[in-house]
Structure 1
Amino acid sequence: MSNPIVLIIIDMQQGMSWPQAGERNNPDAEHQIAELLAHWRASHAPIVHVRHLSTEPESLFWPEQEGVLFQDAFQPLADEKIIEKSVPDAFIHSDLEAWLRDQETQALVVVGVSTNNSVESTVRSAGNLGFNTYVVGSACFAFEKDDFFGHARSADEVHAMSLANLHGEYATVISQDEAFALLL
């Protein structure tokens, strides 16, 4: 496929589904991501799987334990790119940008977790690097978090604010159907 539209799936690891990860929103996100993954595979379009490897021994994503493993539904196939990272941004300390440029990438479709952390950080870099970037809001999720002033924010609020931060400046937030239509 020349000038491909690349699907980037961020941090869909086992630890993200554990209760210790926190209270989250969008319980349908995994289903939405799985549908996008199936669509990209059926279209023979390129897919990048991003995995977080923490440098903190207490982390759910410390290497060589189950939390760091990809969830079963998101196991990469042999011809799919894997990026490993130890910071939220998948472009930092990786060959992601070079690989995307080698693919002559037309656009990126980003999904995964968490919306306000690794998704937002990666999408900001993608936009700043000049990639035409889309975020499927229904295929991402976030966790509840206190704001800077100590006020509790629900996972829905954190998710919505993160999407607002990205839309129009770094990316375009789109629906699942709009993402499917990109490969028609």
Structure 2
Amino acid sequence: MALQMMSTDRPALVVIDVQRGFDDAEVWGERGNPACEAHIASLLALWRSRSWPVVFVQHDSDDSASPLAPSSPGHEFKDVITGTPDLLVRKRVNSSFYGTPDLHSWLRQESITELVICGITTNHCCETTARMAGNLGYETYFAIDATHTFDRVGPTGETVPAAILSMITATNLHGEFATVVTTGDLLADA
């Protein structure tokens, strides 16, 4: 049964930092959700079939040794990111709303009030962008299975698995900043 979520005829898909540099396990560690990219591909196909707006966000690390530095091959988008977006935002911080060109201004200019967020990493750039989108008044949907993150070491030295971090992000966002959904929910709603 469809959730009947999206109420406008032009929801924007915001695809965050799906860059080759995140494939470097030596830098990032163990990742979760191996199906992330397949779900992103499904969402991109849906958005393109409906001619809905697509935003790609690309992280430009200031650290020249980072796999996400503009001079690194890891800066490039993964193969799943195809076609030309309606907007390409380049950023140096976690939030896609602090990039160039200005995402919030573009969304207002395009009269877009609903966003679907996906990409990498769940608990950093995706969660930060969703929080800001909610605070800015957008109807925000967070496609949790179209994101992934990595195991992280906490302040006490224990490793927190990526799946737990994703669940915590979903808990943090749902009902306050965004509606947490799956790719299947969005496909059924379309």
Question: For this pair of structures, how many residues does the alignment match?
Answer: 181
1:87 aligns with 2:115: no
- Matched residue, 2:3: none
Query: Percent of aligned positions with the same letter in both sequences?
Result: 35
- Matched residue, 2:167: 160
1:14 aligns with 2:15: no
Q: 2:82 aligns with which of 62, 75, 89?
A: 75
Q: How far 1:93 sits from its partner (Å)?
A: 3.9
Does 107-116 or 140-149 show the bigger shift?
A: 140-149
Pairing of 1:139-178 with structure 2 (within 5 A): 139-178=146-185
- Matched residue, 2:10: 4
Secondary structure at the residue paired with 1:61? coil
In the TM superposition, structure 1's runs of 4+ consecutive aligned residues that sit over 4 Å from their partners are none
Report the residue type matching 1:4 in the other structure.
R
Q: How far 1:178 sits from its partner (Å)?
A: 1.9
Please tell me whether the aligned partners of residues 64 and 71 of structure 2 are also in contact (alpha carbons under 8 angstroms). Answer: no
Please tell me whether the aligned partners of residues 50 and 90 of structure 1 are also in contact (alpha carbons under 8 angstroms). Answer: yes
Report the residue type matching 1:83 in the other structure.
V
Secondary structure at the residue paired with 1:4? coil
- Matched residue, 1:35: 42
Unpaired runs of 5+ residues, structure 1, are none
TM-score (norm 1): 0.93
Please tell me whether the aligned partners of residues 143 and 183 of structure 2 are also in contact (alpha carbons under 8 angstroms). Answer: yes
Q: How large is the RMSD of aligned CA atoms in angstroms?
A: 1.4
Secondary structure at the residue paired with 1:73? coil
TM-score (norm 2): 0.90
Return the alpha-carbon distance in structure 1 between the equivalents of residues 150 and 80 of structure 2.
21
Pairing of 1:91-110 with structure 2 (within 5 A): 91-94=97-100, 95-110=102-117
